[in-house]
Amino acid sequence: MKQSRPAPTLQDVAVYAGVSTATVSRCMNTPAKVTAKTRTRVEDAIETLGYAPNFGARAMAAQRTMTIGAVIPTMENAVFAKGLQAFQDELRQYGFTMLVACSSYRPKLEAEQIRALVGRGADGILLIGHERDPAIYRFLDAQKVPTLVTWAFDDTAPRPSVGFDNRKAMAKLAQHVTKLDHRHLAMITAPVATNDRAAARLAAVGDVMDAEGLVRADLFVVETPYSIDNGAAALDLILQQRPETTVVICGNDVLAVGALRQARGMGLSVPDDLSITGFDDIDLAVVTHPLLTTVHVPHRQMGRAAAQMLADMVLTGAPATKVELATTVKLRDTLGYPRQSQAAR
């Protein structure tokens, strides 16, 4: 068991190299302050002893960890994976290391993980979406850990954030839909209770319906967790309950792809018999047939921008700001005119 582990310490290295612990420490942190000769001697000692600095001790002594924590809902969602990869790559430029935790969309778990990350000495925290128990924000404030919210942009929220306005973005797409004269809309969305991005996208569709003289309450909504199969099942349900539906707006590409598969499996032609739209513009969207109409989100850019901002906040105590990134509607091949009004073409 671990107890028996006699890992070499700074002390051991110092003795082996015949210098003081301070010198060894300097070799690792401020090499310029050490003679080349002693440095090589120390480096050799480190190598032969197989020494690795004890991070806990270092964090405690230095009061700084050069670590940023990120809590995302899940790694399985390609959008987070992509954004996070960019975030990490950029962070490395600043000398930071990233720690990830996944909350599986469970608020309790998220709170726990935030605490764990802070306890681990994270110098800054990256969070997805604004909405969470105020106690968490209070905690973060008490700990004075700079926190950045991403994947969402909300002018009214008090926190710094780098993201896009989910409501605006989805509204843009929904406008395209209504402009094509669709009157019977349905939506497949991720569960909105613990996901403010999903909720915003759903609300956006309602907004547009209102504006276009449709009845918001007429929108048929199916909530289901993120997966291709669930998207397919949801479409099935929609067609059963509301066969008059002409367009299915999906809260994300994965659900849309599932819906698309199901529609085609049922012998429907997309978009001639039924239109389907997605959101995120992940790789999936450009390999389906027909190509998915969706909303492009600049995941990479978002990750990179978030890294720069958070690094700044931590390093220079930079003031909190809000950055809004633009999304673009990608009109591809799954959105067309509703079948009733095809003559209007």
Partner DNA sequence: AAGATAAATGTAATGGCTTACATTTAAGAT
Partner DNA sequence: ATCTTAAATGTAAGCCATTACATTTATCTT
Q: Counting contacts by CB under 8 A, is residue 2 touching a copy of itself?
A: yes
Residue 4 site contact among a copy of itself, DNA, none (CB < 5 to 8 Å, cut-off depends on kind): a copy of itself
From the CA atom positions of the chain, what is the Rg in Å? 26
Residue nearer to a copy of itself on the CB measure, 9 or 38: 9
Q: Are 275 and 177 in contact (CB under 8 A)?
A: yes
The one segment of 12-20, 31-39, 280-288, 329-337 that binds a copy of itself by CB under 8 A:
280-288
Selected binder of a copy of itself within 36, 317, 343, 345 (CB under 8 A): 317
Contacts of 267 (CB under 8 A, 6+ apart): none
Instruction: Please name the amino acid found at residue 323.
Output: V
Binding part of the chain for a copy of itself, among 13-21, 100-108, 191-199, 325-333 by CB under 8 A, reads: 100-108
Contact in structure between 304 and 238 (CB atoms under 8 Å): no
Cα dist. 210→179, 181, 215, 217 in Å? 13, 14, 6, 9
Smallest gap from residue 51 Cβ to DNA (A): 7
Contact partner at residue 326 from DNA, a copy of itself, none, CB < 5 to 8 Å by partner kind: none
26 binds, among DNA, a copy of itself, none (CB under 5 to 8 A by kind): DNA
Should residue 278 be labelled a site residue for a copy of itself when binding is judged by CB under 8 A? no
33 touching a copy of itself, by CB under 8 A: no
87 or 337: whose CB is closer to a copy of itself?
Answer: 87
* Partner interacting with residue 22 (select from a copy of itself, DNA, none; CB below 5-8 Å by kind): DNA
C-alpha pair distances (Å), 327 with each of 83, 86, 178, 277, 314: 15, 18, 19, 15, 28
Q: Which does 266 bind (CB under 5 to 8 A by kind): DNA, a copy of itself, none?
A: none
One-letter amino acid identity for 6? P
Residues in the site for DNA, rule: CB under 7 A?
7, 9-11, 18-26, 28-29, 32-35, 37-38, 51, 53-54, 57-58, 60-64
Please tell me the count of residues contacting a copy of itself according to CB under 8 A.
67
Of 4 and 240, CB closest to a copy of itself = 4
Amino acid identity for residue 269 in this structure:
S
DSSP 25-37: HHHHH-GGGS-HH
Interface map 154-173 toward a copy of itself (x if CB under 8 A): --------------------
74 interacts with, out of a copy of itself, DNA, none, CB within 5 to 8 A per kind: a copy of itself
Residue whose structure tokens are 């707006």: 249
Cβ atoms of 257 and 239 closer than 8 Å: no
Any contact of residue 134 with a copy of itself (CB under 8 A)? no
What's the rounded Cα separation, in Å, for the pair 62 and 21? 15
Asked whether 74 and 80 are in contact (CB, 8 A), the reply is yes
Shortest Å distance, C-beta 118 to DNA? 11
- State which H helix or E strand residue 163 sits in: strand 161-163
Q: Which pair of structure tokens corresponds to residue 19?
A: 């210098």
121 binding a copy of itself? (CB under 8 A):
yes
Cα 101 from Cα 109, distance rounded (Å):
10
How many Å apart are CA 14 and CA 12, to the nearest integer? 5
Q: Report the C-alpha gap between 162 and 153 in whole angstroms.
A: 7
What Å distances lie between residue 293 and 131, 230, 231, 325, CA to CA? 28, 19, 16, 20
Per CB under 8 A, 271 contacts a copy of itself: no
Contact residues for a copy of itself (CB under 8 A)? Answer: 1-8, 49-50, 52-60, 63-65, 74-76, 78, 81-82, 84-85, 88-89, 97, 99-102, 104, 115-116, 118-121, 123, 138-139, 141-145, 228, 254, 257, 260-261, 283-284, 286-289, 314-317
